[in-house]
Amino acid sequence: MSVSTIANSVKNVLAAALVITSIPDTWVQVIENKENHYTITLVLPFVHDKIHLLWQNAILQDLSKDNNLKINSLEWKWQSTVAAMDTPVGAKTLPQVKNIIAIASGKGGVGKSTVTTNLALALAAEGARVGILDADIYGPNQPNLLGITEKPQLQGKALIPMLKYDVQSMSIGYLLDSAQTPVIWRGPMVSGALQQLLYDTLWHELDYLLIDMPPGTGDIQLTLAQKVPVSGAVIVTTPQDLALLDVQKAVSMFKKVAVPLLGVVENMAYYHCPNCQHVDAIFGEAGGKRMAEMFDLDLLGALPLNTDIRRACDAGVPLVVAEPKSEIAQLYQHIAVKMAARLALRAAPMKRRFAKIVVE
């Protein structure tokens, strides 16, 4: 009875932390070594190097509420093996990349690139091998966000990804003469450039490659849906109705092309005044939650409108790196792990073909 009680407590705390319905039995094992001495082994198919300490404390607090439970000692074993999604039939494989996650919005100005960068850094802090592909050919932001001014080196005809803050990245911005140089290309050239940046870059054994998508539902998005083995997508929005209208189009597009949606991130959800502590929903309230409910998606988290986020990104030192123990950095951490957990839950049944796209 004690073994099942402990196992249920572990599963309930993890399910609450990850905001999922239930935890698979394969993730948790509890063994009684001798009377009232237990070993808890958690084999999770996603990274959790730091955040597991919070879960462990929460589990201990939950167990302490049961007066009938006798525990003399607990040994914890936390293991992480990142699951890899199956490649859709007809896709060109990237054997050195386990999972590709598109971070999209459908609309510009919602802070998607900033969210992408900080989520990538949060995953890296949890022990993952992470890369970022800047797919916004016309307006690449990752060079500025990561503070990278150098150009990538070549190995043969392949590009060596830039490495900073333990995250690999590639962007058309690294290849331009300056940040002010415009890219004036038609759709086919842009789609070709995206595929070159993805497939002609020597990514080094990545658990997660996050694609910073451009706004809209145009050529880049169609190329991604038709020719890139995307494991899942995360939608970034702000609360106001105007943003939600465009973001809904992005959600509908991913559903139409059979890309699994991992959840919604509500950015600029509120402003917390550092002086008077007043909290104001400047752009409206709970828009991300309403959209998630509308499309039967999970709300992964809500991020504030905050000067520190802007200042850190402008300096090329994103907040997760600049202030890793800050409250906002912790929000990114929780969102990143929830995203990775949902991807892992989808890994096993992932068998799909590229959707046929019909232009009407």
Q: Please tell me the distance from the alpha carbon of residue 72 to that of residue 317, in angstroms, as a whole number.
A: 46
Asked if residue 291 lies in contact with residue 264, where contact means CB atoms within 8 angstroms, the answer is: yes
Domains 2-80 and 97-347 share a fold: no
Two structure tokens written together for 44: 């999770």
Which residues touch 265 (CB under 8 Å, ≥6 apart)? 115, 234, 235, 236, 237, 288, 300, 301, 302, 303, 335
Per-domain boundaries in the chain: 2-80, 97-347
What is the per-residue pLDDT for 45?
Answer: 95
Each residue's pLDDT expressed in tens, for the chain with a length of 360 residues: 689 999 999 999 999 999 999 999 999 999 988 888 999 999 999 999 999 999 999 999 999 999 888 999 999 999 999 988 776 666 678 889 999 999 998 778 889 999 999 999 999 999 999 999 999 888 899 999 999 999 999 999 899 999 999 999 999 999 887 666 666 666 667 788 888 999 999 999 999 999 999 887 777 777 777 778 899 999 999 988 777 788 888 888 888 888 899 999 999 999 888 888 888 888 888 888 888 998 899 999 999 999 999 999 999 999 999 999 999 999 999 999 999 999 999 864 444 444 444 444
CATH class assigned to 2-80: alpha beta
Q: Please tell me the distance from the alpha carbon of residue 179 to that of residue 21, in angstroms, as a whole number.
A: 45
Closest by Cα among 211, 112, 168, 274 to 160: 168
Which residues touch 334 (CB under 8 Å, ≥6 apart)? 17, 51, 301
Q: Please tell me the distance from the alpha carbon of residue 8 to that of residue 3, in angstroms, as a whole number.
A: 9
Two structure tokens written together for 139: 């307006």
The type of residue at 65 is K
Give the gyration radius of the chain's Cα atoms: 21
| CATH 3.40.50.300 correct for 97-347 | yes
192, burial (CB in 10 Å: exposed 0-12, middle 13-18, buried 19+): middle
